[in-house]
Amino acid sequence: MNKKKKENLKKYSLSIFYFSVIFFLTAVLLLLSLFLFFARDLPRPERYTDRPTAEPTKIYDRDGKNTLYVIHGEEKREVIDIEEVPDHFINTLLTAEDSNFYEHIGIDFQGILRSILLNFQAGRTIAGGSTISQQFVRSALLTPERKVMRKIREIILTLELERRYSKEEILEFYLNQIPFGSNAYGIESAAQIYFNKSSTELTLAESATLVSLIPAPSYLSPYGNNLEELLRRKNRLLERMHLSDLITAEELEEAKEEELVFHQPKDYLRAPHFVMYVKEILETKYGDDFLEEEGFSVYTTIDFELQKKAENVIKERMNSLRNHGAYNAAMVVIDPKTGDILAMVGSADYFQEPLPSGCRPGVDCKFDPFTNVTTRNRQPGSAFKPFVYATAFENGYSGENVVVDEMTNFGTPSNPYIPRNYDGLFRGEVTLREALAQSLNVPSVKVLKDFAGLRKSVENARKFGINLAYSPDFYGLPLVLGGGDVKLLEMTSAYGIFATEGYRNTPVFISKIIDKDNNIIEKNTNTSRRVLQPSVAKEITSILQDNESRAPVFGWNSPLYFPFHEVAVKTGSTQNFRDAWTIGYTKDIVVGVWVGNNDNSSMINAPGVTTAAPLWRSFIESTL
């Protein structure tokens, strides 16, 4: 290589070196400037209580005259020193939210990689990589917007937070700031709201329960529909603590078996099961930030006077129901022309303690106050029959067709299926009108098998809004006798199709949502859709109103009979009296009632006509 080429190569190498140095210094300067720009106004974390209170979201009835619930109307917060918080709560929190808290610098790169791997394996987001420091910065110091610049600022503020404060100080900030739902901010407020005690008195099981609330406090609220999931998360968290040698096997079992008694929020909650269902809808659609920060007005479909009537009817009759071994009841009321939910009572009393005392909610309680039975799967018994008969009528049959009510084996000699009628009697030839009105089992199985068809009956039920999750073959012929799990809400809505002479309106909970500037951001636009021939719907209604055809089994003056009004109704009872149903309607209203026990235990001689029907009748009478 000649001298000139060597000099050129040397100059080129020096140029690359100088450029690299300049680029590196420029990058460092830019990063430093960016860091200083975002960190210059870092608020003092111990002063987070001075920040403006978020505007509340209010949930109203249909007229806006009654406030059903205020979401974070005010932040309930009581500051506590970290030294007062039980060690088992700290261990539980770190296990769940940030196991590397004392090792990382505010950003846990190992945790981020682990969460990415878990989410990739699951095909959905099941784990996050945010540290406790990041969560505190996000919750206390930043706005709820989800933008790239906000994420950059979150990272920079987290690093600056870790530089300025000790780990113990950051943990104390977090414990006094993090939201636990039900307006509770911080561990002390959460302990008092949910368990009516100071956080210093929390047991291991209570601590694990509160920590399990943190990822989704609205969705997992013990006052809502997902108590069982909250308890499952609590138990999984306890198992992780045991695997990490933070608790012994004995402590694990004791905490799993401990009875949790949640304090009843009587002072700020109306139509509780309905409200908690609406909260889930809002959270799913808009996220926690919407529920906590935006100050929207949510107008629901609830008719508050009808809601109070429904609640009172159930409370007044619970003592007599207990004579039948029934400890719970539920009711849903729907406007069939619009789909509006006018009343929803998910249990006999949302504010009563579980029964029997000492049971585990969601597991073995005969009465579980927080579970919304209207949205839970139960077996409907004969209340399902009208949908099979409607399918038969669509196929060209009518109420005047005849079937023979006699002992019949619908199975095989080696695997018999021989259903019986409720009273054990057989009536010979009966019309389909008589068979449905008297709720005869053997003729109904024949209607499903020979007139309606199993597959088409399942398809129709789904078209009517009843969520039968399995294939027709899974249910088989017992489907017509209530052999498939369904929800009271879906069944009541489906009966509304008969009331509207064939039109389906999906259940509606929210009529409109208005922001703080009075702009309508959402308005219900539910539209009717024909799913059944008018003649078929009319014939089903005619049969369910026909007291003369019904009388041979139910009597002339049963709770189902209204001599001066056109009221259609059907009862249902399951095997061993585990469920009792009554669903009935006029042209203006549909009412569904369920009676039974949350733990699926049997009642005592409790068919639908003697247990659920009196509740249904009391409510219908008050509306007529």
Same domain membership, residue 351 and residue 258: no
Is 89 domain-assigned? Answer: yes
Model confidence, pTM: 0.75
Q: Tell the residue number behind the tokens 């009554």, with chain if given.
A: 582
Which has the closest alpha carbon to 599: 271, 381, 325? 325
Contact 179, 221 (CB under 8 A): no
What pLDDT, on the 0 to 100 scale, is given for residue 489? 98
Which has the closest alpha carbon to 189: 269, 292, 134, 263? 263
Is 98 domain-assigned? Answer: yes
Same domain membership, residue 111 and residue 231: yes
Which token pair is 179?
């939201």
Is 52 domain-assigned? Answer: no
State the DSSP H helix or E strand holding residue 10, giving kind and residue range, or none if neither: helix 3-39
Integer Cα distance of 567 and 246 in angstroms: 62
Same domain membership, residue 389 and residue 477: yes
Which has the closest alpha carbon to 61: 237, 370, 307, 347? 307
Contact 165, 48 (CB under 8 A): no
DSSP, res 259: P
Is 258 domain-assigned? Answer: yes
Ramachandran assignment for 540, one of left (phi > 0), alpha (psi -120 to 50 degrees), beta (any other): alpha
Residue 20: phi and psi, rounded to 5, are -65, -45
Is 110 domain-assigned? Answer: yes
3-state helix, strand, coil in the chain (%, to 5): 45, 15, 40
Q: Give the pairing of strands 57-60 and 297-300.
A: parallel
CATH of the domain at 149: 1.10.3810.10
> Domain range for residue 142?
81-273
What pLDDT, on the 0 to 100 scale, is given for residue 236? 95
Same domain membership, residue 397 and residue 534: yes
For the chain, counts of helices (H) and of strands (E): 22, 19
Integer Cα distance of 51 and 428 in angstroms: 78
Is 97 domain-assigned? Answer: yes
Integer Cα distance of 222 and 210 in angstroms: 10
What pLDDT, on the 0 to 100 scale, is given for residue 76? 63
Same domain membership, residue 258 and residue 318: no
Integer Cα distance of 449 and 403 in angstroms: 12
Same domain membership, residue 338 and residue 212: no
First to last CA, the chain: 108
The four Cα atoms 278, 280, 284, 289 give a dihedral, to 10 degrees, of 90
**Count of domains for the chain:** 2
Same domain membership, residue 150 and residue 85: yes
Same domain membership, residue 437 and residue 545: yes
Give the amino acid at 206: E
Given strand 579-585, what is the order of strands in its sheet? 341-345, 328-334, 590-596, 579-585, 568-573
Same domain membership, residue 515 and residue 435: yes
Same domain membership, residue 480 and residue 377: yes
Q: Within a 10 A sphere around the Cβ of 2, how many other Cβ atoms?
A: 7
CATH of the domain at 390: 3.40.710.10
What pLDDT, on the 0 to 100 scale, is given for residue 135? 84
Is 434 domain-assigned? Answer: yes
Contacts of 237 (CB under 8 A, 6+ apart): 92, 95, 96, 208, 211, 212
Same domain membership, residue 345 and residue 265: no
Same domain membership, residue 548 and residue 472: yes
Is 433 domain-assigned? Answer: yes
273, 295, 321 — which closes off a domain? 273
Mean pLDDT by 10 residues, the chain (624 residues): 57 59 63 59 51 67 89 66 92 91 80 54 54 81 62 78 87 87 84 89 95 89 85 94 94 92 74 93 79 82 97 94 95 98 96 75 81 95 98 97 96 93 92 97 98 97 96 96 96 98 97 91 92 98 97 95 94 94 97 96 92 96 90
